[in-house]
């Protein structure tokens, strides 16, 4: 055996040992969390312990479950287990109930049905638009009218940002990524700058309204801020952020935006005119209802239900477009946070958090952005919920949390689900977006837009 082959085998063996060690530690850690949860449930019944000891065991279990769940959610997986974020949230919720941190009835009440209903309704609307061929039509229009690369980039930023402002941004990225890939390759352009535009404009644009992304949907339900008030407060931040997004992408990819676009063969657009008009009309009516003051959850589920009444598209095709795992993750997270809030949130913790001065816009923006990059934006919002609701100007505080948790998603490629959708879809088509490709544009974009947002909301 040659020395090179021996070295390769040794490296492979070390990697294998490290992998086995990580899996062993992971499995043991999960075992400890489960044991503590069930111990808290059964020890008071089996042993003669007082109420104080039983309460302490529940607090220990709730703390371990909460920290363990959030660590796993931050990683997006548990080494050694085939489980995703939705499964982690559901398992954590089950353990909270098993440990006695939250009775089952309280767990049911902890799940915010308005949030889940609004999210489901918006997913049906986006699915109807996609299945009708509307996004392919919009893509074809850009292809026909964008004569220069800069105009093409502007079109991508506008479509991604504007549609993400009113429809859930994750779904918009799922739809736009393959269309932009196909278009840029047909025009002989490098796809990466335009794909960055899809992801970053989607994040920025989604900050504008309650229905722009999952965390805003949750904040709208928790805060009871009206759709119009929310859009009036954060719409200008999103619009300015889209201009900054366009500028930074051009700055960092200057060579891409010179000359004119080559002629491309006319794309074959598969769209049903009737379904396109129907889905577009339903979307416009839905947005009008939002601004008219109709409850967003009520408006979305009614319009979504009506869109299912069609002879041309089978309902199961729409259901296949819905991200059921996201709904499940939300439900689990509501229960995990409610259990931790019930058992762990005492006067000492509230006083300690109060010393952070979260009532100051810059402080709350920085804390929210940092948490969002550590554990993802939806879990970060739920972590902040007990402290934000008690602030004197809680409406402004919720708007700061919405702004910062959304714009923080542009910092790295791991900052939001929308980013991961674009990157994974691109990789499946053979286009690689490296960590550095994203960071060199995303980091300054995040800092600039967060600063603009904090200044705007501090007025």
Which pLDDT tens digit goes with each residue over 86-138? 999 999 999 999 998 899 999 999 999 999 999 999 999 999 999 999 988 88
- Do residue 320 and residue 360 come from a single domain? yes
8 occurs within a structural domain:
no
* Residue 45 sits in the same domain as residue 164: no
> Rounded to whole angstroms, how far apart are CA atoms 277 and 295?
25
328 shares a domain with 201? yes
Q: In this model, does residue 220 exceed pLDDT 90?
A: yes
- The tokens of 136 are what? 């392919």
Residues 99 and 128 in one domain: no
Integer CA distances (angstroms), 76 to 67, 68, 95, 300, in order: 14, 12, 19, 29
Query: In this predicted model, what pLDDT tens digit does every residue of 351-392 receive, in sequence order?
Result: 777 778 888 999 999 999 999 988 788 888 988 988 887 788
Tokens in use for 120?
Answer: 């489901």
The pTM score is 0.86
Does residue 2 form part of some domain? no
Give the whole-number percent of the chain exceeding pLDDT 70: 92
Instruction: Name the 3-class secondary structure at 73.
Output: helix
Whether residues 106 and 156 fall in one domain: no
Which pLDDT value is given to residue 391?
85
How far apart CA 68 and CA 344 sit, in angstroms, is 15
For position 10, what pLDDT does the model report? 58
For residues 208 and 73, what is the distance between their CA atoms, to the nearest angstrom? 26
Helix locations, 167-323, DSSP H = 169-186, 191-206, 214-223, 227-252, 273-292, 296-307, 315-321
Closest to 336 measured CA to CA, from 326, 325, 344, 347 = 344
Contacts of 173 (CB under 8 A, 6+ apart): 160, 164, 198, 199, 202, 418, 421, 422, 425
Contact between residue 180 and residue 191 where contact means Cβ atoms under 8 Å apart: yes
Residues whose CB is less than 8 angstroms from the CB of residue 247 and which lie 6 or more positions away in sequence, other chains included = none
User: For residue 15, what are its two tokens?
Assistant: 């990697």
Single residue among 87, 110, 133 that ends a domain in this structure: 110
**What element of type H or E holds 385?**
helix 377-388
CA angle 69, 203, 88 (to 5 degrees): 15
Q: What is the mean pLDDT of residues 275-289?
A: 95
Give whole-number Cα distances, 334 to 112, 121, 340, in Å: 7, 19, 10
129-152 b/e (C-beta count within 10 Å ≥ 16 → b): bbbbbbbbebbbebbeebeebeeb
Q: Which pLDDT score is estimated for 48?
A: 60
> Domain ends where: 78, 110, 142?
110
Instruction: Tell which of 67, 83, 110 closes a domain.
Output: 110
Give residues with Cβ within 8 angstroms of 47, minimum separation 6.
none
C-alpha to C-alpha distance for 143 and 64, rounded to whole angstroms: 53
- The overall average pLDDT reported for the chain is 88
Residue 5: inside a domain: no
For residues 177 and 252, membership in a common domain is answered with: yes
pLDDT (mean) for 250-265: 78
Our count of domains for the chain comes to: 2
């Amino acid at each position: 055996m040659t020395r090179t082959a021996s070295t390769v085998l040794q490296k492979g063996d070390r990697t294998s040992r490290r992998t086995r060690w990580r899996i062993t530690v992971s499995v043991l850690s999960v075992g400890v969390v489960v044991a503590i949860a069930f111990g808290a449930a059964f020890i008071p019944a089996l042993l003669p312990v007082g109420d104080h000891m039983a309460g302490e065991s529940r607090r220990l279990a709730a703390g371990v479950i909460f920290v363990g769940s959030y660590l796993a959610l931050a990683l997006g997986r548990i080494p050694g287990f085939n489980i995703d974020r939705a499964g982690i949230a559901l398992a954590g919720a089950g353990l909270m109930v098993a440990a006695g941190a939250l009775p089952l009835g309280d767990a049911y009440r902890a799940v915010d049905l308005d949030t889940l209903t609004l999210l489901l309704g918006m997913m049906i609307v986006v699915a109807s638009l996609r299945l009708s061929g509307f996004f392919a039509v919009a893509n074809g229009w850009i292809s026909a009218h964008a004569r220069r690369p800069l105009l093409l980039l502007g079109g991508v930023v506008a479509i991604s940002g504007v549609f993400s402002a009113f429809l859930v941004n994750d779904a918009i990225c799922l739809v736009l990524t393959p269309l932009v890939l196909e278009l840029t390759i047909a025009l002989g352009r490098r796809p990466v700058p335009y794909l960055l535009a899809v992801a970053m404009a989607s994040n920025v644009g989604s900050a504008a309204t309650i229905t722009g992304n999952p965390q805003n949907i949750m904040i709208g339900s928790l805060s009871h801020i009206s759709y119009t008030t929310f859009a009036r407060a954060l719409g200008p931040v999103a619009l300015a952020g889209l201009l900054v997004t366009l500028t930074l992408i051009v700055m960092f990819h200057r060579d891409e935006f010179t000359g004119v676009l080559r002629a491309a063969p006319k794309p074959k657009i598969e769209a049903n005119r009737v379904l396109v008009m129907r889905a577009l009309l339903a979307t416009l009516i839905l947005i009008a209802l939002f601004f008219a003051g109709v409850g967003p959850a009520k408006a979305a589920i009614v319009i979504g239900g009506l869109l299912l009444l069609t002879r041309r598209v089978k309902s199961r095709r729409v259901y296949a477009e819905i991200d059921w795992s996201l709904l499940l993750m939300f439900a689990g997270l509501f229960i995990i946070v409610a259990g931790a809030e019930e058992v762990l949130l005492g006067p000492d913790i509230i006083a300690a958090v109060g010393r952070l001065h979260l009532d100051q816009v810059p402080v709350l923006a920085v804390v929210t952005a940092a948490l969002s990059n550590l554990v993802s934006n939806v879990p970060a919002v739920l972590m902040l919920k007990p402290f934000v609701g008690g602030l004197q100007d809680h409406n402004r505080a919720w708007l700061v949390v919405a702004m910062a948790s959304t714009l923080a998603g542009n910092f790295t490629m791991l900052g939001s689900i929308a980013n991961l959708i674009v990157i994974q879809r691109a990789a499946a088509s053979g286009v690689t977006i490296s960590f550095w490709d994203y960071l060199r544009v995303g980091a300054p974009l995040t800092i600039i837009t967060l600063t603009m947002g904090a200044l705007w909301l501090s007025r």
